[in-house]
Chain A
Amino acid sequence: MNDVIQVRVHAALNITPVIREITFEPVDTALPAYSAGSHVQVHIPLAQRTLRNAYSLLNAPADRTAYRIAVRLQEHSRGGSRYLHENLKVGDVLNLSRPANLFPIHTLGRHHILIAGGIGITPFLAYSEHLLREGASFELHYAYRSGLTDAYVQPLAERLGDRLHAYDSLERPLNLAPILSNQPLGSHLYICGPQRLLASVREQASALGWPDGRIHWEAFSSAEPGLPFSVELAQSGRRIEVGADQSLLEALEANAVEIPNLCRGGVCGQCVTRYVKGDVTHRDHFLAANERADRLMPCVSRGCGSSLVLDL
């Protein structure tokens, strides 16, 4: 878990009013290789504490000289995206976790259908490069708001030609039925974007007979603030306070309790922790209802009501 890579900001460019693209270069050693769909956690040094936010890597996976990410400024940010937009400068040195992939391309796919909403385009930039290189059959559907989240429409149109289908949400809304109805056997579907888009694509694909194993998605939710609460660790007897805009995972880390984690957004299941007592607001998209009786995901879920006791 202490696998941290030191990088320097090589370039930072606002490509729309809300999206900033950041290029990192290695400080001393070469960057680790990664596969399309991978993300890194960026350790963001805020004044009071270090936040770790996950961002997809954009560049061609074969390129190990730089890592590129694109950051959407979040209105209700806990400070991470705001820092990357407003404070980060070229030349700054930051820590990243090593790349991990929770959203890989299915290698047996005969045809790949990529559906992106807004900033959800990021993993598909790496996908497109990989699929082009492999000569694989694919199509990319990209819904965005013009002038706001249309960061990569132009370069993708040049690179992908008629494989790209662009949908300006005001002028030409994304219509899923024709995309999902006539795909050849062996197709795989990948979705990245807001929860609303994921839910609607998954629902429509299932209704058209797509089995779950052909549908892959990545949500980019991250911890949202809540009320402060305190938590007790059953094994050590320690008590830890969790602030309003801090996640339980971050509070544990701030107290030197390290828990394996990858997505920090409630989807991968790495940080699942048992609890023995207390009321929990579950905010993850991973645990089944019955598992929630004694397990929680500290990256997004919070204690509420009676005091929470973790089996740590």
Chain B
Amino acid sequence: MANSTASPHAPFKSVPYYPPMAINPDARCHLVISDGSDLPRTQALVSRLAQTPRVDSLVLGASDTPSLQRLLQVLAQWFAGLHVGVQLHVLGSEAFLWTIHAQATAHGLSNEEISLCSPTDAMQRLVYCVHCANVHSHPLADAVKCPACAVALEVREHFSRRLGAYLGVCRNADAPYSGLPA
């Protein structure tokens, strides 16, 4: 039943929504993953969770997780040994949140089990290129160049939770490779 009076030609936006943080008090294990961009908020969350049975945290840039690749490896090892009853909390830039989200869903977590805190910054975001089907991280801009296929992309306000990325489509079909510096 459409009650909406919005014009069918109104701009269509589908951007991520970050609900207020909710802690599942019954979860037997809380994982806190942060990109290190907002340590006070990360520490506040970890102390809020101190009363729960188990809290583990990973911070990007710490000695055991110096790179994103290493952090994702450690996280994958954790997931392999965990059981249903986990809640994952992610803090950081929007691109970081959705990189971790994709890794978590690939290991069987559902959206109900993943809590994404509102991003510390949205200056960097993931863009999905519809021409070569690759996802890359780009600085916030309406137009970017796909590093894989070099097509100049326009970034739409259309977000895929599954891919964790915004939709990038060819800016100018008559001149797909021109108009943007590499």
Contact = CB atoms under 8 A, between A and B. Distances in A.
B55 interface: no
Contacts of A108: 110
Contact of B86 (A110, A185, A207): A185
Contacts of A185: 79, 82-84, 86, 107-109
Given A185-B86, A185-B107, A186-B107, A211 B112 contact: yes
A77 interface: no
Interface in B102-147: 107-110, 112-113
A208 B28 contact: yes
Given A185-B107, A186-B109, A214 B84 contact: yes
Contacts of B82: 185
A107 interface: no
Interface size classification for chain A:
10 to 19
Nearest to A183: B84
Interface string B8-36: 00000000000000001011110000000
B87 interface: yes
Interface size classification for chain B:
10 to 19
Interface string A196-211: 0000000000111111
A209 B26 contact: yes
Contacts of A214: 84, 110, 112
B66 interface: no
A182 interface: yes
B85 interface: yes
Interface string B67-84: 000000000000100111
Most A Cβ at <10 Å: residue of B24, B109, B110, B112: B110
A180 B26 CA distance: 13
Contact of A208 (B26, B109, B112): B26
Interface in A158-190: 180-187
A182 B112 CA distance: 19
Contact of A211 (B83, B107, B113): B113
Contacts of B113: 211
Contacts of B79: 185
A183 B86 CA distance: 11
B28 A212 contact: no
A237 interface: no
A297 B29 CA distance: 40
Contacts of B86: 185, 209
B6 to A, nearest CB: 27
A208 B108 contact: no
Most B Cβ at <10 Å: residue of A181, A183, A211: A211
Nearest to B82: A185
Contacts of A213: 110, 112
A209 B112 contact: no
A269 B109 CA distance: 29
B108 A209 contact: no
B29 to A, nearest CB: 8
Most A Cβ at <10 Å: residue of B24, B27, B83, B107: B83
Most A Cβ at <10 Å: residue of B24, B85, B86, B113: B85
B96 to A, nearest CB: 21
Contacts of A207: 26
A211 B110 contact: yes
A181 B83 contact: yes
Contacts of B108: 110, 184-187
A209 B87 contact: yes
Contacts of B27: 209
Contacts of B110: 108, 211, 213-214
A216 to B, nearest CB: 13
Interface of A: 108, 110, 180-187, 206-214
6 contacts: A184-B84, A185-B79, A185-B83, A209-B27, A209-B84, A213-B112
